[in-house]
Structure 1
Amino acid sequence: MNTKRQYRTYTKEFKEEALCLITEQGYSVPQAADALGVSSNLLYTWKQKAEELESSNVTSDERAELLALRKEVKQLRVEKEILKKASAFFAKEMK
């Protein structure tokens, strides 16, 4: 029996509200996790990521641009590999 585990996804708004329980309303992470029906580890992860974003001096526009550039670099690397293979193939054909 091959059962694939389904992971729940949470909206950005849900994550922000969950973190507000901890930072603004004084809930502990385990209390907030129980109230929301999520694991404490998940909330700790969200909290850590939020703190990393706050301490980062990169703006949201710069972050979006960085993600777009990384995606473009990945695509260009794939295209480069395809061209390498094609040139090797045609070099063999020319001999």
Structure 2
Amino acid sequence: MSKAAKYSPETRERAVRMVFEHQNDHASQWATIESVAAKIGCTAQTLCNWVRQAERDQGLREGLTTSEREKMKALEREVRELRQANEILRKASAYFAQAELDRRFKR
């Protein structure tokens, strides 16, 4: 299992919800995050990252939402594949052009 998938989406959602629900019980959001992280068994920084992303998804914080990030990754992958295809076509075109020149000179 990869590091990114160590915790289930349900665990992540529950932990973030706990931070939001118990935020008023602690002196700061970080204190809440540390408390909840200890209970679910992840690092405080990991939980902080989940909370920050949830805040972006809810429009409470600037940045890309989860769906925007997924779309960006898909578009970047598509651009990479298209560049590879263009490079293959460019090389094939040069190869066949050279073969055509060689054929003309052999006549």
TM-score band, normalised by the shorter chain? 0.5 to 0.7
Structure 1's 51 and 64: CA in aligned 2 closer, same or farther, altered over 3 A? closer
| 1:67 CA drift (Å) | 5.2
Matching residue of 1:40: 44
Structure 1: 5+ residue stretches without partners: 1-5
Structure with the largest fraction of helix: 2
Please provide the CA RMSD for this pair: 3.1
| 1:65 CA drift (Å) | 8.8
On the 8 A contact 2:56/2:65 being kept in 1, the answer is no
Structure 1's 33 and 68: CA in aligned 2 closer, same or farther, altered over 3 A? closer
Count residues in correspondence.
88
After TM superposition, the score normalised by the length of structure 1 is 0.68
After TM superposition, the score normalised by the length of structure 2 is 0.61
Matching residue of 1:13: 10
- The answer to whether 1:31 aligns with 2:27 is no
On the 8 A contact 2:15/2:36 being kept in 1, the answer is yes
Which residue of the other structure, out of 85, 88, 104, is the alignment partner of 1:82?
Answer: 88
Runs of at least 4 residues of structure 1 off by over 4 A? 62-65
The farther-off stretch of 28-37 and 43-52 is 43-52
